[in-house]
Amino acid sequence: MLTVSSTRKPPFTFAVRQALQGVNDSVMEADLLFLEAWEIQPSPNLGVTLRASQIRRANPDLAAAIDAELKAQPTVSVSFKKS
């Protein structure tokens, strides 16, 4: 069953939102969203890492902007209390 969620949907970063302005190519859009997702949570999978590396090389300024933006955001830590 699908439910409506208040969770943010991609793109999560301002850098990718800006990069996607005026993009009318679904493959390019998918690549930029993939790069953002990989930057947020890198995968140890070799194929995934190689794809992210190729997109980073093709878009070094965007990769740097995403990285800087993610590093600037405070990390959220969750603590659980025992009852």
pLDDT in tens, the chain (83 residues): 445 544 557 899 999 999 999 899 999 999 999 999 999 999 999 999 999 999 999 999 999 999 999 999 765 444 545 55
Instruction: Give the pLDDT score at 8.
Output: 57
Domain annotation covers residue 28: yes
Domain annotation covers residue 80: no
Instruction: Give the pLDDT score at 81.
Output: 55
Domain annotation covers residue 18: yes
Domain annotation covers residue 83: no
Residue 46 CA: distances (Å) to CA of 4, 6, 26, 41, 50: 34, 32, 24, 14, 6
Burial category of 66 from C-beta neighbours within 10 Å (exposed 0-12, middle 13-18, buried 19 and up): buried
Domain annotation covers residue 26: yes
Q: How many domains does the chain fold into?
A: 1
pTM: 0.75
Domain annotation covers residue 79: no
Domain annotation covers residue 82: no
Give the residue numbers spanning the domain of 18: 14-72
Domain annotation covers residue 25: yes
